[in-house]
Amino acid sequence: MTPRLFAFAAADFYHDALQYLDLRSILGGGLGVHVIKSDSTILDLLAGANYTHESYSAFVLPTTPPTPVAAVTHSLAALTLGDSFVHKIGKGTVITQGLLFYPDLTNTGEYRGTFNLGTVTKINKWLGWQNTFADIYVSDPPMGTKKNDLQFATGLNIAFTH
């Protein structure tokens, strides 16, 4: 739109067996602004709206006696607020960070949030070492599940160059 202002569209699909979440689909869009945009650093702020549909499976809590929990489905409108940060350290390492906050417009006071922090360090031209930390928070999950889901992953990153 302008050198600093841009429009964005987003689609996010998420599954979490530990939360009994079969699928969360988020479709949305909005506007963003480049707060910082240089060769080594990009910081974007985002604001928009989304439609979220999520389905949780039925399960049984391991209590005495066992407590069944019914399946839950939500469809809602929410805001999308957040940031995206990328910083290159030298020629070999990239740090990425993203924070998205989704206040529910259907049930005010409820919200979801995701935080991601990652690094990729080049070992050579085609191989890199990747680390990712993620925190996914739901303010009102189904009974018997936790609000917070922390994840850490590490591995190798293979680049296919021409």
pLDDT of residue 55: 92
Nearest one of 109, 108, 143 to 19, comparing CA atoms: 143
Query: What does DSSP assign to residue 104?
Result: B
Count of helices and strands (H, E) across the chain: 0, 10
pLDDT given for residue 162 in this prediction: 53
Which pLDDT score, from 0 to 100, does residue 153 have? 95
Residue 114: other Cβ atoms inside 10 A: 19
Angle of CA points 43, 137, 60, to nearest 5° = 155
Residue that has been written with the tokens 């702020």 in this structure: 45
Q: Consecutive 10-residue runs of the chain (162 residues): their mean pLDDT? A: 91 88 94 94 96 89 81 91 95 94 91 95 91 93 84 91 62
